[in-house]
Amino acid sequence: MPPRSRAKGATVLALANQKGGVAKTTSVASLGAAFAELGKRVLLVDLDPQACLTFSLGIDPDEVEASIHDVLTGKADLANVIHECADGVDLVPSSIELAGTESVLLGRPGREYILQEVLAGVAADYDIILLDCSPSLGVLTLNALTAARGLIIPMPCEMLGHRGVGQLLDTVRDVKRILNKKLTVIGVLPTMYDSRSAHQQDVLADVGERYSIPVLAPPIPRTVRFAEAPAVGRSILETARTSKGAQAYRAVAKDVLSRL
C-alpha cells in the first residue's frame, strides 16, 4: 500500500446537488472506495434521511443504535457512531430520524456550524471525509457546505445544460460570504455519460465555460453495474473491479487529489 498522507486534519469534501438521482450517493461510495485503495483513511457521512449510502454499505438504517441525527442533536458522540465497512471506509450512518433533524436544529443559534464542530473531533483520524448530501439546500446541506473545504457537484451529462447548477452556485456564494470563506468548488463531476450521444459530448465540452468552474475528468459512464452494487453492500469498485465505471471513479479520485 502507498504511504498514508501525513496531513494533520482530514480534508472535508461535500458532494451536493439539490436534484435527486444525479449519482451523489454512488459517487460518495465509489470515490470513498477509490481513496481507500490509494491508502487514504476515509470517513463517509450519510446526511440524507433516505439513508441510501448507509444501505449501500450493507448497514440497515433501522437497526443502527445511533445515527448522524443523534450526533447533530447532541445525543451521541460522533466517535461512538462510526461503523467500519467492508470497502475499507468508515461510515457515519443516517436513519429516518434525520428527517426531523432540521426542525430540531431550527431554533438553535449557530445551527449551520454543528457538523463542522463535531467533525473537528475526528479530523485527525482521517485523510478524507466525504459528505453525502440530501437533495435539498436545507439546514443539513448548509451544515455540509459549512464543514467542507471543497464541493463536488455530481451532474448527469444530460442535465449539464440546464440551470440547476446556477442555483447551487448561488447558495455556495452565500455560504462563502457568511458561513465558510474557505469553501471552494472542486468541480462538476459529469455522471451517467453516454459516449454515443453527440449532444452529451457537446454539453460536456462547454460546461466548464458555461459556469466557469472546473470539470472533473473523466466523465463517469452510464452502466447497469451501478444498480447492482448496493444490493450486496459493496461499491462498484469491489463488485466490478475492472469495469469502466470503477476505472473512471479511480481516475476521478486522482483528479480530485491533484486539485486539493
Contact residues toward ligand ADP (CB under 6 A) are 20-26, 52, 135, 191-192, 220, 222-223, 226-227, 245
Residue 22 interacts with, from ligand ADP, Mg ion, none (CB under 5-8 Å by kind): ligand ADP
Q: Should residue 144 be labelled a site residue for Mg ion when binding is judged by CB under 5 A?
A: no
Residue 166 interacts with, from Mg ion, ligand ADP, none (CB under 5-8 Å by kind): none
Q: Which stretch binds Mg ion (CB under 5 A): 25-33, 92-100, 185-193, 226-234?
A: 25-33
The residue written with cell numbers 502507498 in the block is 2
Phi-psi region of 192 (alpha: psi -120 to 50; beta: other; left: phi over 0): left
Q: Should residue 52 be labelled a site residue for Mg ion when binding is judged by CB under 5 A?
A: yes
Q: Should residue 25 be labelled a site residue for Mg ion when binding is judged by CB under 5 A?
A: yes
Residues found in the chain:
260
Q: Which stretch binds Mg ion (CB under 5 A): 6-14, 44-52, 122-130, 218-226?
A: 44-52
**DSSP for 103-150?**
HHHTTSTTGGGHHHHHHHTTGGG-SEEEEEE-SS-SHHHHHHHHH-SE
Nearest residue (CB) to ligand ADP, 108 versus 225: 225
Q: How many alpha carbons lie under 13 Å from residue 67 in its C-beta half-sphere? A: 25
Closest CB 85 distance from Mg ion, rounded Å: 16
- Residue 207 phi, psi (nearest 5): -65, -35
Distances (CA, A) of 214 to 172, 229, 256: 15, 29, 11
Q: Which stretch binds Mg ion (CB under 5 A): 19-27, 37-45, 99-107, 160-168?
A: 19-27
Q: Should residue 16 be labelled a site residue for Mg ion when binding is judged by CB under 5 A?
A: no
Q: Should residue 24 be labelled a site residue for Mg ion when binding is judged by CB under 5 A?
A: yes
Nearest residue (CB) to ligand ADP, 180 versus 191: 191
Distance of alpha carbon 43 from alpha carbon 120, whole angstroms: 13
Distance of alpha carbon 68 from alpha carbon 91, whole angstroms: 10
Binding site for Mg ion (CB under 5 A): 24-25, 52
